[in-house]
Amino acid sequence: MTPPEPKVMSVIEIENLTKDFEVGFWRKRRVRALEGLTLRVEAGEVFGFLGPNGAGKTTTLKILMHLIRPTSGSARILGSPVDQVAMRARIGYLPENPYFYDYLTAEELLVYAGRLLGLGAPQLGRKVDAMIDMVGLGPARRVQLRKYSKGMVQRIGIAQAVLNDPEVVFLDEPMSGLDPLGRREVREIITGLKARGVTVFFSSHILPDVEALCDRVAILHQGRLREVGALDSILDVSLEAHEIVLGRVPAGFGDRLRGAGAECKVDTLGDRLQVRTSGVPQLNTVVSLALASGAELVSVNPIRPSLEDYFLAEVG
Amino acid sequence: MRVLAIAHNTFRECIRDKILYNLIVFALLMIASSVALGHLTLGHSEKVIIDVGLTAISVIGTLIAIFIGIGLVYKEMEKRTIYALLAKPVERWQFVVGKFLGLLFTLAVNVAVMTAGLMLTLALHGGLPPGGYVRLLPAAYLILMSLAVTTALALVFSTFSTPALSALFTFFLWGIGHFSGDLLELGRAIRSETFAFVSRALYYALPNFSNFTAIDSRNVILTAAYHREIDAAAVGWVSLYGVIYTAALVGIASAIFARRDFK
């Protein structure tokens, strides 16, 4: 008899999470920020959490960090309920638009964070040096944070989030407000974390970065989960257009296409013809006609929409 | 360990705050200027210096306790520094206790610096009789005890209210706390059982600051000014009261803070 397979535990398990906020001073009313969110993130994934402003991304992250309590539902990180304090020694968190004690230097902030994480003196000193090097703040390590630019604050924020070599890192809009150079640096840090097997859960508005970094994404809109899955499968689902390049096209082929009722856009590329179709039936029509008329099929390529196109179509 | 880390950071925050230095310099100037007042009283100049000096320590300490205390927790929430902190393995009560201890240590250092300033002023003015300096210490200690209660009061309000309202509430209770004995007397004078019950309940519930300002019905500051000894046993009982009352307030602050959502 074979032993039962061990149950594979997701690193982040969110079950039917709902959060209502009360707004108004005299006449309080309830506003639902999150509705029935169910999500799983597996070990080693870089998971993108997308959605427009007010979609519920930060609310979800705050529930995961136990900064706010859900109205209903539950969430677990590394198998522990989110209110378990000991578990937080194994995770890291960068809040949205982070603000740290501006009277501290970068070095003092990391030592303070390390003491809260329970790191001892000899180990902490080495970790602080390594983190400051990793985020490139060596020359500014003894400068008070009040003199830091936004990008520098973001970088020290990431350093405090990964000081304890966490198994999971939660980053809330880590690229927000950064210039292209800063964004590239944050991308490189996330890539480095992934290479070390760290699970990264991050929310972002900057879709090209999400596209470049994430294994899977979830799209949240008005507190509800609209889509979740691997980036390729999400974008493949929405495949709509194809680009066909034909060679040795006989004269009058364009008229024959129109005569056959094919809805397509035709452009001339030197001695070739580029035809853009919409939908698989149109693709079949164009290819059949081209082959029947003796044209050469040079290439057929799906035109995959960018994540931005998809995102705008879903929530725009 | 984590409580001490938070306390250390709070202390560092306080000592890097310019307002603190302004208040301490102001207190030291008051102590120094008491020398001029002392010249107006024939033969009792050092008594005036002690009276003005200890009062300045008490007043400035109270201002620091209230104005820094009301922002202890609120500022962390307003500036969002609390998000990264509470995402670490820190219990919420550890945060509250750490913040309290950090400000209390700041106040202890301030009281020590200002008392040393007062002693220096007295020494430069001609000195005190043997044992005179030591007799200042119980008064300084009782001032610190009352500051601990004041800080804990401000801390409670800081966990759920804005600084302006917290300051108002703390000043209000601090004021009432100096006259809670009168409240009890009022309950006895008005012949109503209900009022007597309410006044007695308020007397025990409200902080009794007169415990720290008067021992055996004698004003602590004046007792020090006249180089009289303060009864050590009475100081012990008052200390016990201060510790229990402060611990209860910090406990209430922790309980409120533990239930908060950080939107």
The pLDDT confidence band at residue B102, using thresholds 50, 70 and 90, is very high
Lowest-confidence region among A87-96, A237-246, B76-85, B89-98: A237-246
> Higher pLDDT residue, B86 or A271?
B86
Q: Are B106 and B12 in contact (CB under 8 A)?
A: no
B80, B82, B88: best to mutate for the A interface, most A CBs within 10 A: B88
Q: Can you give the pLDDT at residue B42?
A: 66
Q: What percent of chain B has pLDDT over 90?
A: 39
CA distance B26 to B19: 11
Would you call A178 helix, strand, or coil by DSSP? Answer: coil
The nearest CA of chain B is from the CA of A102 a distance in Å of 9
CB pairs A-B closer than 8 Å? 81
Q: Where are the domains of chain A?
A: 12-235, 241-315
CATH class label, A12-235: alpha beta
Does pLDDT of B135 surpass 60?
yes
The pLDDT confidence band at residue B88, using thresholds 50, 70 and 90, is very high
Q: Are B97 and B257 in contact (CB under 8 A)?
A: no
Lowest-confidence region among A5-19, A26-40, B211-225: B211-225
Q: Can you give the pLDDT at residue A55?
A: 87
A69, A96, A101: best to mutate for the B interface, most B CBs within 10 A: A101
For the segment B120-134, the average pLDDT, to the nearest whole number, is 80
Q: Do A88 and B262 touch (CB under 8 A)?
A: no
By C-alpha distance, the chain A residue nearest B18 is: A103
Does pLDDT of A274 surpass 90?
no
Q: Can you give the pLDDT at residue B65?
A: 92
Contacts of B2 in chain A (CB under 8 A): 115-116, 118
Q: Can you give the pLDDT at residue A303?
A: 77
For the segment A253-274, the average pLDDT, to the nearest whole number, is 80
Compute φ and ψ for B219, nearest 5 degrees: -60, 130
Does pLDDT of A4 surpass 70?
no
Q: Count CA atoms closer than 13 A to A246's CA, side-chain side.
A: 27
Give ∠ CA A246-A250-A256 in degrees, rounded to 5: 90
ipTM: 0.86
For the stretch A76-81, contacts whose Cβ atoms lie closer than 8 Å and that sit 24 or more positions apart, written own/partner, are A76/A12, A76/A13, A77/A11, A77/A12, A77/A13, A77/A168, A78/A11, A78/A167, A78/A168, A79/A9
Query: What b/e readout covers A168-203, taking b as 16+ CB neighbours within 10 angstroms?
Result: bbbbbbbbbebeeebbebbbebbeebbeeebbbbbb
Q: Can you give the pLDDT at residue B176?
A: 87
The nearest CA of chain A is from the CA of B256 a distance in Å of 14
Contacts of A84 in chain B (CB under 8 A): none
CA distance A208 to B102: 45
Q: Can you give the pLDDT at residue B26?
A: 78
A94 near B CB under 8 A: yes
A116, A117, A171: best to mutate for the B interface, most B CBs within 10 A: A116
Q: Which amino acid is at B29?
A: L
List, for residues A61-94, the tens digit of each pLDDT value: 999 999 999 999 999 999 999 999 999 999 999 9
List the single residue in A67, A99, A103 with the smallest CB-CB distance to B16. Answer: A103
List the single residue in B6, B86, B90 with the smallest CB-CB distance to A67. Answer: B86
Does pLDDT of B137 surpass 80?
yes
Does pLDDT of A311 surpass 90?
no
> Higher pLDDT residue, B220 or B10?
B10
Q: Do A93 and B89 touch (CB under 8 A)?
A: no
List, for residues A20-62, the tens digit of each pLDDT value: 988 877 778 888 999 999 999 999 999 999 888 888 999 999 9
**Domains A12-235 and A241-315 fall in the same CATH topology:** no
Compute φ and ψ for A50, nearest 5 degrees: -110, 155
List the single residue in B2, B81, B262 with the smallest CB-CB distance to A116. Answer: B2
Q: Do A98 and B83 touch (CB under 8 A)?
A: yes
Q: Can you give the pLDDT at residue A256?
A: 82
Q: Can you give the pLDDT at residue A254?
A: 79
Average pLDDT in chain A: 86
The pLDDT confidence band at residue A299, using thresholds 50, 70 and 90, is confident
C-alpha A95, offset from chain centre: 15
For the segment B70-97, the average pLDDT, to the nearest whole number, is 92
CATH of domain A241-315: 3.30.70.860
Does pLDDT of A238 surpass 60?
no
List the single residue in A66, A88, A101 with the smallest CB-CB distance to B81. Answer: A101
Q: Do A66 and B80 touch (CB under 8 A)?
A: no
Q: Are A28 and B50 in contact (CB under 8 A)?
A: no
Question: What Cα–Cα distance (Å) separates residue A299 from each residue in A295, B13, B76, B154?
Answer: 12, 67, 60, 75
Q: Can you give the pLDDT at residue A236?
A: 66
Q: Do B87 and A88 touch (CB under 8 A)?
A: yes
List, for residues A177-235, the tens digit of each pLDDT value: 778 888 888 888 899 999 999 999 999 877 778 888 888 999 888 899 988 988 777 77
**Residue B99 burial (10 A CB sphere; 0-12, 13-18, 19+):** buried
The pLDDT confidence band at residue B93, using thresholds 50, 70 and 90, is very high
The residue behind tokens 């209900």 is: B194
Q: Can you give the pLDDT at residue B125?
A: 79
Q: Can you give the pLDDT at residue A42?
A: 93
Select the highest-mean-pLDDT range: A12-21, A253-262, B20-29, B46-55.
A12-21
User: If you compute the radius of gyration of chain B from its CA atoms, what whole number of angstroms results?
Assistant: 20
CA distance B53 to B59: 10
Contacts of A21 in chain B (CB under 8 A): 263
Contacts of B81 in chain A (CB under 8 A): 99-101
Give Cβ neighbours of residue A96 (< 8 Å, ≥ 6 apart). A58, A61, A172, A173, A176, A203
The nearest CA of chain B is from the CA of A150 a distance in Å of 15
List the single residue in A67, A69, A89 with the smallest CB-CB distance to B83. Answer: A67
A residues 102-161 closer than 8 Å to B (CB): 103-104, 108, 112-113, 115-118, 157, 160-161
Q: Do B13 and A101 touch (CB under 8 A)?
A: yes
List the single residue in B9, B89, B261 with the smallest CB-CB distance to A112. Answer: B9
List, for residues A122-175, the tens digit of each pLDDT value: 889 999 999 999 888 889 999 999 999 888 898 899 999 999 999 999 999 988
Query: What b/e readout covers B4-31, taking b as 16+ CB neighbours within 10 angstroms?
Result: ebbbbbbbbbbeebeebeebbeebbebb
List the single residue in A21, A98, A117 with the smallest CB-CB distance to B263. Answer: A21
CA distance B167 to B175: 12
By C-alpha distance, the chain A residue nearest B261 is: A68
The nearest CA of chain B is from the CA of A42 a distance in Å of 21
List, for residues B33-62, the tens digit of each pLDDT value: 777 776 777 667 788 888 888 888 999 899
Compute φ and ψ for A25, nearest 5 degrees: -95, -55
